Amino acid sequence: MKKLSLAIICLLCLVSCTETKKDKKTKSSGAMAHSVGKINELSVVVDNNLWKGRVGDTIRKYFGAEVPGLPQEEPLFSMRQMPKEAFSGLARKNRTFLWIKRGGQGGFTTLENKYATPQLGAVISGTENEIIDLIRKNYETIISKYKMTETKEKQKRIRKSLEKIPQLPEKMGITLKIPTAYRIAIEEDKFFWIRKDIPQGSMNLMIYELPLGTITKDSNTVSSIIKMRDSIGAKKIPTDVGNFVTEEAYAPYLYETTLDGRFTFETKGTWEIKDRFMAGPFVNYAVEDVPNNRLMVLEGFVFAPSVNKRDNMFELEAIIKSLKFE
């Protein structure tokens, strides 16, 4: 009996020690907390006196700059400033942050998943003049990395509830990650109009293909893109009066990028329907699909009078950037 009791005690001790080791291992290599925050919300960690001075003005100039292509002025990021003392607990779990440290050697670095995941932080340190100079030199890189982080997060949220549209791979040879809130408004052999109703308007996707040489790569590139989208818009988007065309008063912004490894023209501007006083922002991606000798065009546009549209357009861009060719 004594031997049995001793054996049981030894077994319990062994199990206890094993669980303790497992607990310690779990705590030391435990899963990092998930980051928080709205899309395009940026935490700015900087002392109050710097925020009110030249450093704050420089931060607002670049990170609060106007989003290109929107009819109303809206900032790239909704910034939330806090002193370093407040940058703790839940505040450290925001998905993106900009940390300004006065003093020490001047420098710029990025931190990935430092306090949560996914997370990207940019840290800039030095004297006041050094900080301002470093912001001016690196803001484009920082903004690009922030936007990439936010796009991935938005796409992750979209993937939680996807609309199945088998016609896209069947008719167009592509796939897109589209939320269930969207529906097909028009479906043709080589044209799709997909839309989502929102409280004060709608969010829209147009997908179509054209011959590969439709857009010229020269000084007339913007003109050929406008001609292309105005022609398609006039034919495919039904209106009671006037045509769905590019706003003439504002020249679109043109960029070069890639989607699914293919060269792409990215155009941002404003659309309008003349005689109806209707207008809104659009983003147009013209993708060179050389293997199939075609131009694959994906355009997102929003109609939502008198409300902010930055986040609506960001959602449409995130959907389009999920493009995969079959």
The answer to whether residues 81 and 117 touch, using CB atoms and an 8 Å cutoff, is no
Q: pLDDT at residue 25 above 60?
A: no
pLDDT at 30: 59
Give the pLDDT of residue 241: 76
Average pLDDT (31-37) is 90
Q: What integer is the mean pLDDT of 52-76?
A: 96
Q: Kindly state whether residues 181 and 301 are assigned to the same domain.
A: yes
User: Percentage of residues in the chain with pLDDT exceeding 70?
Assistant: 91
Which of 99, 125, 158 is a domain's end point? 158
3-state secondary structure 234-294: HHHCCCCCCCEEECCCCCCEEEEEEECCEEEEEEEEEEEECCCCEEEEEEEEEEEEHHHCE
- Provide the domain count of the chain: 2
DSSP 77-110: SEEEEE-GGG-SGGGGGBSEEEEEEEEEEEEEEE
- Specify the CATH number for the domain of residue 95: 3.30.379
> Are 190 and 285 in a shared domain?
yes
Last residue in a domain, options 113, 129, 158? 158
Range of the domain at 214: 167-325
pLDDT at 3: 45
Which SS3 state, helix, strand or coil, does residue 113 take? Answer: coil
| Mean pLDDT, all residues of the chain | 90
pLDDT at 53: 98
Residue 19 resides in a domain:
no
Question: Is 45 in the same domain as 177?
Answer: no
Which tens digit of pLDDT belongs to each residue from 135-157?
A: 999 999 999 999 999 999 999 99
State the pTM of this model. 0.88
Same domain, 245 and 141: no
Does residue 23 have a pLDDT over 80? no
What is the pLDDT confidence band of residue 183, given thresholds at 50, 70 and 90?
very high
Percent of the chain at pLDDT exceeding 90: 80
280 and 319 together in one domain: yes
Domain end marker among 124, 158, 192: 158
Query: Is residue 85 situated within a structural domain?
Result: yes
- Give the pLDDT confidence of 220-274 residue by residue, as tens digits: 999 999 999 999 998 998 887 788 999 887 789 999 999 999 999 999 999 998 7
DSSP, collapsed to helix, strand or coil, labels residue 32 as coil
CA 63 to chain centre: 15
Instruction: Indicate whether 154 and 173 sit together in one domain.
Output: no
